[in-house]
Amino acid sequence: MMANPILLQKKYARVIACFAKQQGISLDEALDLFYRSEVYQLMREGVSDMHCMSDLYLAEELRLEYEERE
């Protein structure tokens, strides 16, 4: 299922803000990390309805993704 593009953009913004707050980083840093993440790719492509998950869940998935990379 594909989400409405406008609603998806708002979802991205909320996830980025949540991730930035969790990690204590700037919104610019969080934005950069988000748009280079697998989480973003899955949300954008509508895989497994990732866009239906909570903002907190997606921010946590983003954190785990970057912990695995390090």
42-53 pLDDT per residue, tens: 998 887 788 889
In the chain, how many domains are there?
Answer: 1
Cβ distance 55 to 15 under 8 Å? yes
**What residue numbers bound the domain in which 53 lies?**
5-69
Q: What average pLDDT score do residues 15-38 get?
A: 97
Per-residue b or e along 43-60, where b marks 16 or more CB atoms closer than 10 Å to that residue's CB: bbeeeeebbebebeebbb
28-38: per-residue pLDDT in tens? Answer: 999 999 999 99
* Banded model confidence at residue 27, pLDDT cuts 50, 70, 90: very high
Q: Residue 66 above 60 pLDDT?
A: yes
